[in-house]
């Protein structure tokens, strides 16, 4: 009886030691490969009406606050009193996390998956798309909202960047 109890206690101690060693490793591995947050509230800092101008082009971008698992946005460019470009935008949660959906000129939406998120920075990516393959948003220390698209055109790196001030 004593040997049986000793073996049982040894198994218990071994199991506890094993669990104490392996559980932190599993948790660390899961954290290292963790997906960006799936709650649209992480990009809520983009909400508001924004505008800027450059070389006679008036730019407006508006984002509704997070609600119902999504943010809705729109962009409009006006030059010499005429709208020259527009885009419908949305950020929503799906089974894989957050996705940014861009519909330039009312075309079908192109998805860009959230791949990086910080307090006032978000990076969305779609490596299969022609241009852009990345869309970045960040809120600068001066309160201006910035957006940048990146990718390649004609085999060369290309990017465009915008900056807007909050409309009061």
| 114-165 confidence digits (pLDDT tens) | 999 999 999 999 999 999 999 999 999 999 999 999 999 999 999 999 999 9
**DSSP H or E segment with residue 7:** helix 2-32
pTM, to two decimals: 0.78
Q: What is the pLDDT of residues 74-95, one digit of tens each?
A: 999 999 999 999 999 999 999 9
pLDDT tens string 26-66: 333 333 445 566 899 999 999 999 999 999 999 999 999 99
Q: Give me the count of residues in the chain.
A: 168
Q: Which fold has domain 40-166?
A: Lipocalin (2.40.128)
Give the separation between CA 117 and CA 127, rounded to whole angstroms: 18
């Amino acid at each position: 009886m004593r040997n049986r109890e000793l073996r049982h206690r040894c198994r218990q101690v071994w199991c506890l030691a094993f669990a104490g060693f392996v559980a932190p490793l599993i948790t660390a591995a899961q954290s290292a490969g963790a997906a960006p947050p799936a709650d649209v509230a992480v990009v809520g800092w983009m909400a508001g009406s924004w505008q800027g101008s450059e070389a006679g082009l008036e730019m407006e971008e508006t984002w509704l606050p997070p609600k119902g698992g999504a943010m809705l946005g729109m962009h409009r460019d006006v030059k010499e009193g005429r709208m020259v470009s527009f885009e419908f935008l949305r950020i929503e949660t799906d089974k894989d996390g957050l996705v940014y959906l861009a519909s330039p000129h009312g075309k079908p939406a192109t998805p860009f998956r959230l791949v990086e998120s910080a307090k006032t920075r978000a990076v969305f990516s779609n490596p299969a798309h022609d241009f852009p393959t990345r869309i970045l948003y960040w809120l600068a220390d001066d309160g201006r909202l910035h957006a940048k698209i990146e990718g390649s055109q004609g085999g060369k790196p290309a990017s465009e960047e915008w900056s807007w001030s909050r409309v009061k």
